[in-house]
Structure 1
Amino acid sequence: MSTFTDIVVEKHGHVALIEIRRPPLNFFDISLIGQIATALDQIDADPDYRAVVLAAQGKAFCAGANFGTPEPGDKDPAVQLGKINHLYQEAVRIFRNKKPIVAAVQGAAIGGGLGLAVSADFRVTCPEARFAANFTRLGFHPGFGLTVTLPELIGKNNAELMFYTSRRVIGEDALRMGLANVLVPQDQVRAEALKLASEIAENSPLGLISTRATMRAGLADRVAAQTDHELAEQTTLRATEDFKEGVKATEERRVPNFKGR
């Protein structure tokens, strides 16, 4: 297994545990998503692994992108993410992995962090967790393939509700709408995720890979096509005053004053 800078991979029987280590909020960028994708490629190549748990240190699972305040003279708050098309190429690699993934969501999964959680097959969470597709609150367009994956998971109308309101969905409501599969106390999230992944790993590895390929047939291709559209919309909105206001308002913890331009 490769040496990574922002994740570690541990072996738990036939289960690989990938832990994100950018606490406390575990903001993502191209490097982090690429490291997760590379770890999954290596897990796919190792027949001793049959399932994966994706977990994180800190109080958040992944709080999304850290837009923050742009450097002086920089007009784009998203510039530090790097080229978003490259980011989405790395994200599609995650969707192409072959083995079942259980996400251990012990805290916030926001924006692209929600996209990362939804890329997994199952989510174990807790009452303290918060799930949010907060893109419109930023004056932005959803990304990370969420306009494909979220409606398929929770239904079109529930996805529209999350997209249009940017509201935070608590753990109990996530379970109710199908966004989460298991709800346990916060200190039990990782153990429960490992338990579920171990239950999966007791089964035939060839049967698992074959069945999962059938169940997720075409998903990675749909995500790849949709991220092209998402990127085009995001590129347009990155140049607007509303996007800058949304990022600034979020940083200042206030309601944004959007002008529609």
Structure 2
Amino acid sequence: MVNYENLEVEIDPPNKIAIVYLNRPTQLNAFNIKYLEELIFVLKKISKDNRLQCLILTGRGKAFCAGGDVVEFRNAEQPDEFMASMVSRLHEGIKILKNMSQLTVAAINGSCFGAGLGYATACDFRISSENATFGCAFTRIGLSPDSSTTFHLPKLVGLTLANEMLFLNRALNAEEALRFNLVNKIANPETLLGEAKKLAIQISKGAPIAFAYTKKLLKESYTNDLESHLEKEAESIVKTAGTEDFQEGLKAFFEKRNADFKGN
């Protein structure tokens, strides 16, 4: 375990997993600039670690992340300049999450609001504790949303519910989050991290090159037209067909066994 001022990082090379714990529990893991700089540094480091195939993001204490630290918002002498500095870091972290080849799992252990919800929705999978709650809360204090919330949320829950969450500050409990496709699964608090690790290990046994191309294709599907996306799919499947993993996958299929992918 590597400890930072606001984060704890656990690297598990045998299982090809990294776990990042948001660790500012007395502030409900709310973001400030120093904390975000640490998170960006750690995410960049993980993204470049070829030993790793999955990242789990979770929180210490009773919250996943309550969003931005409103105490620091209140104390800012120049609120607009402070927010510009804050949001640039928030968005750098989101872009690293989306662009890293590793798949990402948010293990949402409690309150997940504002930018915390943005980070959760930017992950590829989300597992929620039974006692987690979800909300936006930006407009409640007179702010428009950030951290990809208006990008990912309507794609996950639909525009109708996203409007309620963004304009009317509707909060969801875990059962509602599951029903509206905001999360993949619910676990009890004691087994949440274990369930996330189980999913991460399942991911880590997959074909890393194929997964990386698939993640990229899914991200680009939001902006590509059909013709250009078909071209991207064709390019990607040709590249993955030239890998040793493809030969191993074929061999395993005909031998009726699980493939042993190496990322080659």
Please classify the TM superposition score into its range, dividing by the shorter chain length: 0.7 to 0.9
Residue-by-residue CA offset, 1:177-212 (whole Å, 9 max, x unaligned): 011111011111111111111111111111211211
| Percent pairwise identity | 28
Extract unaligned runs of 5+ from structure 2: 225-264
Q: 1:98 aligns with which of 98, 101, 123?
A: 101
Residue-by-residue CA offset, 1:157-176 (whole Å, 9 max, x unaligned): 12112112112110000000
Q: 1:152, 1:44 → 2: CA distance?
A: 25
Q: Which has the higher contact order (CA 8 A, sep 6+)?
A: 1
> Rg bigger for which structure?
2
Counterpart AA for 1:19: Y
Q: 1:67 aligns with which of 70, 77, 87?
A: 70
1:173 is the counterpart of 2:176:
yes
TM-score w.r.t. the length of structure 2 is: 0.75
- Which one is further off, 1-10 or 98-107? 1-10
1:49 is the counterpart of 2:55:
no
Contact 1:33 1:91 survives alignment (8 Å): no
Root-mean-square deviation over aligned CA pairs: 2.6
Contact 1:67 1:80 survives alignment (8 Å): no
Q: 2:198, 2:223 → 1: CA distance?
A: 27
Mapping for residues 10-89 of structure 1, pairs under 5 Å:
10-12=10-12, 13-24=15-26, 25-68=28-71, 70-71=74-75, 74=77, 76=79, 83-87=85-89, 88-89=91-92
Q: 2:223, 2:47 → 1: CA distance?
A: 16
Q: SS of 1:216's equivalent?
A: helix
Deviation at 1:47, TM superposition (A): 1.7
Q: Determine the structure 2 residue equivalent to 1:214.
A: 217
Mapping for residues 118-129 of structure 1, pairs under 5 Å:
118-129=121-132
Deviation at 1:101, TM superposition (A): 0.5
1:186 is the counterpart of 2:189:
yes
Contact 1:110 1:132 survives alignment (8 Å): yes
Mapping for residues 141-180 of structure 1, pairs under 5 Å:
141-180=144-183
TM-score w.r.t. the length of structure 1 is: 0.76
Counterpart AA for 1:54: L
Instruction: List structure 1 runs of 4+ shifted beyond 6 angstroms.
Output: 218-221
Residue-by-residue CA offset, 1:93-123 (whole Å, 9 max, x unaligned): 3322221100010100111111111111111
Deviation at 1:140, TM superposition (A): 1.6
Q: 2:222, 2:97 → 1: CA distance?
A: 11
Deviation at 1:68, TM superposition (A): 2.2
Contact 2:47 2:96 survives alignment (8 Å): no
Q: SS of 2:194's equivalent?
A: helix
Alignment size in residue pairs: 219
Contact 2:2 2:8 survives alignment (8 Å): no
Deviation at 1:2, TM superposition (A): 8.4
Deviation at 1:21, TM superposition (A): 1.1
